Amino acid sequence: MIQYKTIALIITTGILAVLPQFLNPYWVDVLNNIGIYAILGLSLNIIVGHTGLFNLGHASFFAVGAYTAAILNTQYEIPVLWLIPVCGLSAGLFALIVARPIIHLRGDYLCIVTIGVNEIVRIALINNVFGLTGGSNGIFGIDRPNVFGMTLRTPMEFYYLILAFGAVTIFLFRQLEYSRFGRALNYLREDETAAQGSGINTAHYKLAAFVVGAVWAGMVGNIYAAKMTIISPESFTFWESVIIFVIVILGGSGSIPGVILGAVLVVGLPELFRDLANARMLVFGAAMVGMMIFRTQGLLPQRPRKYTLPQGRRNGEGGE
Amino acid sequence: MKLLSVSRLTKSFGGLTAVNSVSFDVQPDTVVGLIGPNGAGKTTVFNLITGIYRADQGEILFKDQSIVNFPTHRIISQGIARTFQTIRLFQNLSALENVLAGCHSQMKSGVLGSLFHTPRQRREEKMALEEAMEALAFVGLDSNALQMARNLSYGKQRLLEIARALATKPSLIILDEPAGGMNEHETWQLVALIGKMKERGITVLLIEHDMSLVMRVCENIVVLEYGSKIAEGPPQEIKTDPRVIQAYLGVEEDD
Ligand SMILES: Nc1ncnc2c1ncn2[C@@H]1O[C@H](COP(=O)(O)OP(=O)(O)O)[C@@H](O)[C@H]1O
Ligand SMILES: [Mg+2]
């Protein structure tokens, strides 16, 4: 079992490493978009999938990260990739401030407020808040990122940056799943009262889930800004939030492979069937309706965590 | 010295006073029963003690400190654990992970430790796994560790809830109808388990409908009716108390 998994991992890594060598820049760019949405999906998955909090405003955290990168880079000429932690922190701080007063709201109300937050952010950006965001034109002239003395320009160069960031994300989020923190989020999703009754500070973990998800979305915002060199409010609409949300729900709430599959389907498939691009919304809608009827847990649902029981207590290992 | 002291505890829902100025004490190392007809307010008392409901009035002292209206997780970490009348397990998670939820308050790892699996986090995780298995073994469920909670029999689910509560390392455990839905054999096991908890120095406060069980295991009994305490004392006294008999038989006042 372990053997088989290791081999699968090596093969996947190998394929992903050489894939862009066989594709034209257009398709490499499609892969880059899939990668960015996959990481955004994984960050939203912490909030929606693991904790069960419906957040339809995730693009606002993405926006805070992207604008932090753009403003600090264009105004102070700080190399854009150095700003990754700053973008994460600013988005996390933003999440802390907006989520704190609303975190106790029941599911559906919370969801509506997150939509509102997303709109407020978008409109604030359009209105050029603090004279820093450039209004509806956005900010342009963001520097190309530099990695070990090499300036990234082509889609292929960005591909490897996104791949690396994605790999780190998957690794860390998997560790998070297998931890006190990750379990606490799941307890809270399963039964909030029982979680409290077991000694878990549910309000704290709801907020923490928002902050962790936002920090990651903020860091992706940085990479997005670096890749585009120009950002504007259009990229951070409610619709973006919906797409990220659909990726999580369609792929599989709480499941890393599920969310990645979700990103491939939601972002990649429309590229394959360009002729049907206009029918994209129709297909999504139908797919979502089908999901809600036949497979509510998503295409690749969350799998039970595996534990190696302490010595002498090995009965029933690996069972469900 | 009292472990838990409830005084003049009151809670209303709309016009209904579910708990009306109830006072009682729980001495350490005892088993105390809270009994009364359906709707008497027993579960509400438990929910008030564990902070699930906010009290309208009254005081709750645990180890001489006020815990009234504290958030539930703080009450749990001070050493009170509970089970629910309607089983509230994490049904889609394994028995082991259900018990690990109880271990949560005994652990410290935060988000960074959890992301990076620091050496401290790994040590703590290993310890928690052992503690959880120990709690499962204590209630006799160690061989079911990796089964989903929802696939366990009703009786086992009740035991699993107790294991989860024990994993919080409580000095007082409160059980809401622990024998509900158990067969005779399981009820016997439960009685033995309550004895074992007592041996461990855990004080037990329980709600139970099975009178023979209550009379067998409890040293002190508190009786509620319509939200008010109508009697308190050792089982022998309670058995013969005319008000208790009246409450249970539903005899009219003017009889
Ligand atoms: N959350 C609630 N909202 C409204 N009424 C409640 C609530 N919880 C309990 N009650 C009412 O309080 C009374 C006592 O209920 P409960 O404490 O569950 O009784 P018991 O556990 O003794 O059977 C009942 O009349 C019940 O309907
Ligand atoms: Mg009850």
Mutate to test the interface with B, among A179, A186, A296 (most CBs of B within 10 A): A179
What ranges do the domains of chain A cover?
A: 27-237
Residue A108 burial (CB count, 10 A): 9
Mutate to test the interface with A, among B82, B83, B115 (most CBs of A within 10 A): B115
Q: How confident is the model at residue A146, as a pLDDT?
A: 87
pLDDT digits 0-9 by tens, B237-247: 998 999 988 88
Contacts with B, A 157-176, CB within 8 Å = 172, 175-176
B190 three-class SS:
helix
pLDDT digits 0-9 by tens, A225-261: 999 999 999 999 999 999 999 999 999 999 999 999 9
Cβ of A208 under 8 Å from any chain B Cβ?
yes
Q: Could you tell me the pLDDT band of residue B1, with boundaries at 50, 70 and 90?
A: confident
Q: How confident is the model at residue B253, as a pLDDT?
A: 46
What are the distances in angstroms from CA A102 to CA A53, A107, A114, A187, A204?
A: 12, 10, 9, 20, 13
pLDDT digits 0-9 by tens, A110-154: 999 999 999 999 999 999 988 899 999 999 999 999 888 888 989
Q: How confident is the model at residue A288, as a pLDDT?
A: 79
- Provide, as residue numbers in chain A, all residues whose Cβ is less than 8 Å from the Cβ of B168: 198-199
pLDDT digits 0-9 by tens, B120-178: 999 999 999 999 999 999 999 999 999 999 999 999 999 999 999 999 999 999 999 99
Q: Could you tell me the pLDDT band of residue A320, with boundaries at 50, 70 and 90?
A: very low
Indicate the top mutation candidate among B13, B86, B224 to test ligand 1's pocket, ranked by most ligand atoms within 8 A of CB.
B13
Share of chain B above pLDDT 90, in %: 90
Q: How confident is the model at residue A317, as a pLDDT?
A: 44
CB nearest to B111's CB, from A181, A193, A203:
A181
Q: Could you tell me the pLDDT band of residue A213, with boundaries at 50, 70 and 90?
A: very high
Mutate to test the interface with A, among B47, B72, B106 (most CBs of A within 10 A): B72
CB contact under 8 A, B148 and A304: yes
Q: Could you tell me the pLDDT band of residue A1, with boundaries at 50, 70 and 90?
A: low
Superfamily the domain B1-79+170-255 falls into:
P-loop containing nucleotide triphosphate hydrolases (3.40.50.300)
Highest mean pLDDT among A150-154, B4-8, B212-216: B4-8
- Closest ligand 1 atom, residue B47 Cα: 17
Region B44-62: what's the mean pLDDT? Answer: 97
Position B255 pLDDT exceeds 60: no
CB nearest to B89's CB, from A194, A203, A309:
A194
What ranges do the domains of chain B cover?
A: 1-79+170-255, 89-169
Cβ of A212 under 8 Å from any chain B Cβ?
yes
CB contact under 8 A, A198 and B148: no
CB contact under 8 A, B84 and A197: yes
Tell me how long chain B is.
255
CB nearest to A307's CB, from B73, B129, B151:
B129
Region A304-310: what's the mean pLDDT? Answer: 89
Q: How confident is the model at residue A221, as a pLDDT?
A: 98
Which residues line the pocket of ligand 1, CB cutoff 6 A?
B 13, 16, 18, 36, 38-44
Share of chain B above pLDDT 70, in %: 97
CB contact under 8 A, A181 and B84: no
CB contact under 8 A, B97 and A183: yes
Region B37-50: what's the mean pLDDT? Answer: 96
pLDDT digits 0-9 by tens, A6-41: 898 899 989 999 999 999 999 999 999 999 999 999
Position B195 pLDDT exceeds 70: yes
Closest ligand to residue B15's CA: 1
CB nearest to B121's CB, from A172, A179, A316:
A179
pLDDT digits 0-9 by tens, A163-190: 999 999 999 999 999 999 999 999 999 9
Residue A129 burial (CB count, 10 A): 13
Query: Which one has a higher pLDDT value, B36 or A288?
Result: B36
CB nearest to A184's CB, from B50, B104, B121:
B104
Q: How confident is the model at residue A312, as a pLDDT?
A: 59
CB contact under 8 A, B115 and A172: yes
B157: its two tokens: 């689910």
Q: Could you tell me the pLDDT band of residue B250, with boundaries at 50, 70 and 90?
A: low
Question: Which residue's CA is the closest to the ligand 1 atom numbered 25?
Answer: B39
Q: What does pLDDT average to over chain B? A: 94
Contacts with B, A 114-153, CB within 8 Å = none
Determine the residue of chain A that is closest to B121 in CA distance.
A179
Phi-psi region of B2 (alpha: psi -120 to 50; beta: other; left: phi over 0): beta
Determine the residue of chain B that is closest to A202 in CA distance.
B73
- Closest ligand 1 atom, residue B53 Cα: 1
Question: Which residue's CA is the closest to the ligand 1 atom numbered 8?
Answer: B44
DSSP secondary structure string, B35-102? Answer: E-STTSSHHHHHHHHTTSS--SEEEEEETTEE-TT--HHHHHHHTEEE--SS----TTSBHHHHHHHH
For residue B149, give the DSSP letter. G
Position A313 pLDDT exceeds 80: no
pLDDT digits 0-9 by tens, B90-114: 999 999 999 999 999 999 999 999 9
* Measured distance CA(A55)–CA(A41) in Å, rounded: 12
A157: its two tokens: 């160069």
B152: its two tokens: 């366990």
Nearest to B164 by CA among B86, B88, B110: B88
* Measured distance CA(B157)–CA(B148) in Å, rounded: 10
Q: Do A178 and A171 meet the contact criterion of CB atoms below 8 Å apart?
A: no
